[in-house]
Amino acid sequence: MNIIVCIKQVPDTTNVRIDPETNTLVRSGVQSIINPFDMYAIEEAIRLKEKFGGLVTIITMGPPQAEEALREAISLGADEAVLVSDRAFAGSDTWATSYTLSKAIGKIGKFDLVICGKQAIDGDTAQVGPGIAAFMDIPQITFVKKIEEIKDSFIRAERMTEEGYDIVESPLPCLITVVKEINEPRLPSLKGKMRAKKIEIKKLEAKDLDADPDLLGLKGSPTKVVKIFTPSPRKGGQILEGEAKDVSAKLVELLKTELV
């Protein structure tokens, strides 16, 4: 079973806190991490490999330093890594990113399953996974919380919905996007870390992709950002202090009009 996992390097927001005085973000040193949802994608791929054999290939599109994210994925147990990097990809929106990644996956070779995290925590769009599936014309199962079975070139999985979940079956190859509930990612092994140091990362540039240059990067992105602004920060309001019964009575009074 050959699996491709698409990952993204994102800024680590766990080190971010909100300055109580100014209500703005405070970042103490900027670190990059693998998008948290992609960690579940990597883990699921490795578990499937352990069960069925095969290869796990990690792919990312990003600037040269995204190589660190690929090496981290290798340390967790992935077999190969591909960095899709070129200045021509700068400014890609989700359409151009999906296009570029689908072209790059086409260069990797035969696969049974593509796994993506449900969304990246910096953009929060959840559009690239289905976008890749659409470009490659393969079926998709989004927001997967559990893979129930893989048998006879079919996958059966639980797709999380607002009310619960759907059970969906798809022929392979297909693309799934995964949510946090699917597993608990492992830590890198010592052996994995050694391998991650030495492994040669395959690099793909725009010229390697057989892609239409007009559909790459900023030029190939239908959406354009025209304005960026900081919303007026949410301010703390009224603080209620005192005995439980007094503050409760006060709060009920304050919320009364909203509820009745």
Partner 1 sequence: MSIKVTNEKCTGCKLCVKTCPFSAIEITNKKAVIDLYKCTLCGVCIESCKFDAIVLTKLSPTDIAFPKKFEEHKDVWIFCEQKKGVVQSVAYELLGKGRELADTLGVELCGVLLGENIKGEAQKIIHRGANKVYLVDSHELKHYQDEPYSKVLIQLIKEYKPEIVLCGASSIGRSLISRVAIGVHAGLTADCTALDIDKKERLLLQTRPAFGGNIMATIICPNHRPQMSTVRHKVMKEAPENKHHKGKIIEKSYDNNVYFSRTRLLDIVEEIEETVNLTEANVIVSGGRGLGSPENFKIIEDLAKALGGAVGASRAAVDSGWKTYSHQVGQTGKTVCPKIYIACGISGQIQHLVGMQSSEIIVAINKDPHAPIFTMATYGIIGDIFEVVPELTRRFKELLGK
Q: Does 231 bind partner 1 (CB under 8 A)?
A: yes
Give the Cβ contact number of residue 128 at 10 Å. 25
Q: Does 225 bind partner 1 (CB under 8 A)?
A: yes
- 212: phi then psi, degrees, rounded to nearest 5: -75, 115
**Residue 234: in which H helix or E strand, if any?**
none
Give, in order, the Cα–Cα distances in Å from 88 to each of 74, 85, 108, 221, 238: 26, 8, 20, 12, 51
Out of 1, 7, 14, 211, the only residue in the binding site for partner 1 (CB under 8 A) is 14
Within 47-106, the residues that bind partner 1 by CB under 8 A are 63, 65, 87, 90-91, 93-95, 98-99
Nearer to partner 1, 198 or 234 (CB): 234
Site string for partner 1, 126-165 (x = CB under 8 A): xxxxxx-xxx---xxxxx-x----------x-xxxxxxxx
Nearer to partner 1, 151 or 234 (CB): 234
Distance of closest approach, residue 250 Cβ to partner 1, in angstroms: 8
Nearest one of 1, 4, 2 to 133, comparing CA atoms: 4
CA angle 65, 37, 74 (to 5 degrees): 50
Out of 1, 108, 121, 199, the only residue in the binding site for partner 1 (CB under 8 A) is 121
Residue 121, burial from CB neighbour count under 10 angstroms (0-12, 13-18, 19+):
middle
Which of the stretches 44-52, 69-77, 169-177, 204-212 binds partner 1 when contact is defined by CB under 8 A?
Answer: 169-177
Give, in order, the Cα–Cα distances in Å from 73 to each of 6, 66, 90, 124, 223: 11, 11, 23, 21, 31
Nearer to partner 1, 194 or 218 (CB): 218
Nearer to partner 1, 117 or 192 (CB): 117
Out of 47, 107, 180, 195, the only residue in the binding site for partner 1 (CB under 8 A) is 180
Q: Does 111 bind partner 1 (CB under 8 A)?
A: no
